[in-house]
Amino acid sequence: MPDKAKMEKGHISIHTENIFPIIKKWLYSEKEIFLRELVSNAVDAIHKLQHINLIEGLQLEDEYAIDITVDKDAGTLSIRDNGLGMTADEVRKYINQVAFSSAEEFVEKFKDLDDKNQIIGHFGLGFYSAFMVSDKVEIFTRSYQSDAAAVHWVCEGSTDYHLEECDKAGRGTEVVLHLGAEEKEFLEPFRIREILKRFCNFLPVPIRLAGDVVNDQNPLWTRSASEVKDEEYRDFYKKLYPLADEPLFWIHLNIDYPFNLKGVLYFPRLTTEFDVAKSHIKLFCNQVFVSDNCPELIPEFLNPLQGCLDAPDLPLNVSRSYLQNEPQVRKIREVISGRVASKIVELAKGDRADFVPVWENIHTFVKYGMLRDDKFHDKLKDHVIYRLAGSQEYVTLPEYLEKAVAKHADKVYYTNNEAAQSTYLKLFANQGMDVLVLDSLIDSHFIQFLEMKNGKVAFQRVDSDVTENLIEEDPKIQLPGKDERKARLDRIRQLFEEAIKTDGFSVRVENFKDDSVPGMVVLSEQTRRLQEMTRMLGQGDENPFGEHTLCLNGKSPVVDTIIGLKDQGRDEDAAMLMQQIYDLSMLPHCAFDRERMAAFLERSNRILCKFGSLG
């Protein structure tokens, strides 16, 4: 053992008063980052030695590794590497001066922040983060230089330190933490393993705990995409998210210019428990875990993305407000948005049957992205697919418009509720006209956006009007002349106007090609959109049908029956049927209040009784 007389005692000169209490009581929500900092330092020491070995030809053949040791009896946690090591002068420089000055600067810069989460990575505190959990810290180190003596440095959480020579066989550094009374959780191997798995799981140097290697030194993002098989991507996802279902798709990033960015991102299968408002990306810096809450790096509409991003060039010790305006961060968002769009296009061009389940999970986010990002829209506009009402077939907008040229050029018919609008859909189906299903919350905005982007194209809900394709140009009903035909239609209109006493109500009579529907209520597309918008702003009427039209089918047998009843003087029965036609037409559009529903049910029973008495 070296002579105790050679022990050096010193005082660390600092400007920040009480820096150790500040470090100890630092408002980190994750105190365990001390282990990340110390392991990162050990990795740096190994990398520096590997570089020197290569440049100077030292011919070192050691197996590089970092060993973590827990001694419960002594109350210590040790981090040992076989890297560069330090001489006594280097300890004085890098521990007493450089490292401490960095820690002092870091604490002074961030200690007054109201929101400590504004600091994404918390890098910079470095070696002195050890005092977050320790009452005393020791360093045993020996430089790789052949003539260097091993040294021992110790500090007990004050500005005083001791430095002396010591016995240490091999090169490298061992940091021994004498844990505080409240930090005994870090003496549990399972807790240390948990921290290593979170922060150091993908470091490029083997990390051993009780002799077992706990990390993966070659994560997928460090490899070329051409080298990685699909099964490896799935296995890696399972390693990151053990409880999640298989992802929908993934993208592999490997960018060297104009910035350095690597990573593998996955689009997950969404469940009701999935928080789409939260960032799910794990951010790394040179394979060191930094944060799993970095929404600034991902476009808002791609928040569901999971996976890893390794951004070694990104300035991490900055506030979130800075990142929001950082040009490099904006470029990263653009790159990710572009790569995701390209992947979706690739999937859409493949087998549509395989793409449909993917689309069902992602369509809301894709549409939102198209609304927010013109470049994203331009890439995907011809690959968005829509389901056809009454089937499981999907088409793109260009495909739909091409097929519709003969019957309704540049007009798109859609439904937002197949069940409620089934009467209208039946009429369209009987005439061989396709209707798109647009029933998600975002679709009302997306429709108007598509009209804006495609000036000639107009979207019209199936219940907004009776299209000319549903009306018979040459009625099959043979009447002696036009005057009598007109008189008949006028009579039908007059009968219903007298029977239905509702404000804003009007009647229109047409001869439908299909006689199975006696009538239906229509509200113009633009009027309905305006009313929906005002209701969203809290300014509209609760009843969207202040003004509406009952379009009657002059070919319907039920309408013929009503005329016959009037001719027989059975005015009450005719009125009952007219009110029933109106209520049936209104049911798809609005919920009846208690009184109206009771009247509708009572009237329905009366009609059934009359039919029953006929038998």
- Annotated binding-site positions: 37, 41, 81, 86, 173, 320
Question: What is the residue-wise DSSP string for 381-403?
Answer: TTT-EEEBTTSS-EEEHHHHHHH
Find the angle CA(267)-CA(369)-CA(317) to the nearest 5 degrees: 70
Which residues, other chains included, contact 20 with Cβ-Cβ below 8 Å and sequence gap of 6+?
A: 131, 157, 158, 159
Q: Please state at what angle helix 557-567 crosses helix 482-499, rounded to 10 degrees.
A: 80
Alpha carbon of residue 489 to chain centroid: 56
Each residue of 368-381: b (16+ CB within 10 Å) or e? bbbbebeebbebbe
Binding residues for ATP: 37, 41, 81, 86, 173, 320
Q: For residue 154, which of 173, 177, 185 has the smallest C-alpha distance?
A: 177
Q: What percentage of the chain's residues is helix, strand, coil (to nearest 5)?
A: 45, 20, 35
- Specify the 3-state DSSP secondary structure of 460: strand
Find the angle CA(281)-CA(285)-CA(290) to the nearest 5 degrees: 55
Dist. CA 56–CA 116, nearest whole Å: 44
Q: For residue 56, which of 162, 167, 145 has the smallest C-alpha distance?
A: 145
User: Are 396 and 381 contacting, i.e. CB atoms less than 8 angstroms apart?
Assistant: no
Dist. CA 427–CA 256, nearest whole Å: 58
Alpha carbon of residue 204 to chain centroid: 30
Structure tokens given for 378: 């331009």
Length, in residues, of the chain: 615
Dist. CA 397–CA 404, nearest whole Å: 11
E strands, 93-221, where? 134-142, 151-155, 160-165, 172-179, 207-209, 212-213
